[in-house]
Amino acid sequence: MIRPHGCDFLMPLLVDNPARLKVLQEEAAYLPSMMLSSAAAANAVMLGAGYFTPLAGFMDKADALRVARDMRTSKGLFWPVPVLNLTTEGQDIAPGSRLALRDPNVAGNPVIAIQDVQAVEELSQDDVDFIAQQVYRTTDQAHPGVSTFASLGRVVVSGPIEVLNLSYFQSDFPDTFRSAVDIRAEIEKRGWNNVVAFQTRNPMHRAHEELCKMALEAVDADGVLIHMLLGKLKPGDIPADVRDAAIRKMVELYFPPNSVMITGYGFDMLYAGPREAVLHALFRQNAGCTHLIVGRDHAGVGDYYGAFDAQTIFDESVPADALEIKIFRADHTAYSTKLNKVVMMRDAPDHQKEDFVLLSGTRVREMLGAGEDLPVEFARPEVARILMDHFAQEAANTA
């Protein structure tokens, strides 16, 4: 099986020894506590679940700036996005202390991790702007990732952590949330060698379905990991439970048996385009995947990135030896009315735009909200019905 990033074995930070967990839980009751941001809590989950192997905790200021500039930590580890615990209030936090980190996303704010504080440092406004420009390629506050990053505070609390639980993901998504450890174990159990990962924060339509099948065939894969984001999204995105139901129905009806693993991971979407595509590849390697589908405007938002910037970054900025996982480069995929099948648009040079069934996200939401059937060339009827029911329920709740 493909090696984890930067080491020979996964390094999940979730405490799985019951005796050690009990000691930490008792200690947490007496430690000074800090309320995490949702972003930092998501980082803790990814660290705990092994997705962020081989990191041992939250980065310091030097690492954050170096990663933003060079995609390397101060010790030379390749990493595309700073992994930070930022706060607006760090005056009472002392280097050398231990902190109980509280989860903002669970009722009662239980302790999600304990951190050994190595440093407490402050980012200047120039530092914040520099990181935003490098990671998001913009400092525009209209960008959802930039606005979230700017709101987290400037105090960097760095140091290793021990993770006590994986937040709400295991309880809210027991059939879907899986750690990198879980996924590797399942891949090994199935005897898969080549595994293609498909990243999604949206329901999957016909084009996505066929793209997965194209990639399976193109790289001679044993199976595909449909790996959906279960954390925080921007307003208007389809909730995770609805996406989950829609994807499961599509796989049940339209994929060969035992060719797909449907899983999810606990992270908040960054909308960082190319940098996030590299992060997606890195933690899919940690999950045991050999290939990641990177399509048009992968992890993008608005018009902040070029259509294929998330592919070219692997050529221009990712050293050849940085990652073992390979990317499968996908074009925009749509149903061709001339060929009566879904194709990559680059493979149909004789087509005009009107030869494809293309719907914008806005138009899809309008149709679903109005109870209109989506074209069968665009969405499987069974999938469309789940989405229509969701929009109808939303409309009823706001009436």
User: Helices then strands (H, E): number in the chain?
Assistant: 13, 15
Annotated catalytic residues are 201-202
Distance CA 94, CA 88 (A): 15
Q: Degrees (nearest 5) of the Cα angle 54, 47, 25?
A: 125
Residues 6+ apart with CB under 8 A from 58: 40, 43, 83, 84, 85, 115, 156, 157, 158, 159, 161
d(CA 291, CA 187): 14
Count of CA atoms in the C-beta half-sphere (13 A) of 190: 21
Contact at 8 Å (CB) between 327 and 233?
A: no
Structure tokens belonging to residue 348: 């149909």
Distances (CA, A) of 192 to 73, 145, 195, 259, 323: 32, 35, 7, 10, 20
Smallest Cα–Cα separation from 12: which of 48, 66, 41? 48
The answer for residues whose C-beta is within 8 angstroms of residue 175's C-beta and 6 or more apart is 244
Burial class (CB in 10 A: 0-12, 13-18, 19+), 328: buried
Long-range Cβ contact pairs of 318-324 (< 8 A, separation 24 or more)? 318/71, 318/78, 318/278, 319/78, 322/71, 322/78, 323/5, 323/78, 323/278, 323/281, 323/282, 323/285, 324/2, 324/3, 324/5, 324/285, 324/290
- Asked if 157 contacts 117 with a C-beta cutoff of 8 angstroms, the reply is yes
Listed in order, strand segments (DSSP E) in the chain are 33-35, 57-58, 86-87, 98-102, 111-116, 119-122, 155-163, 195-200, 223-229, 260-265, 291-294, 326-329, 333-336, 341-344, 356-357
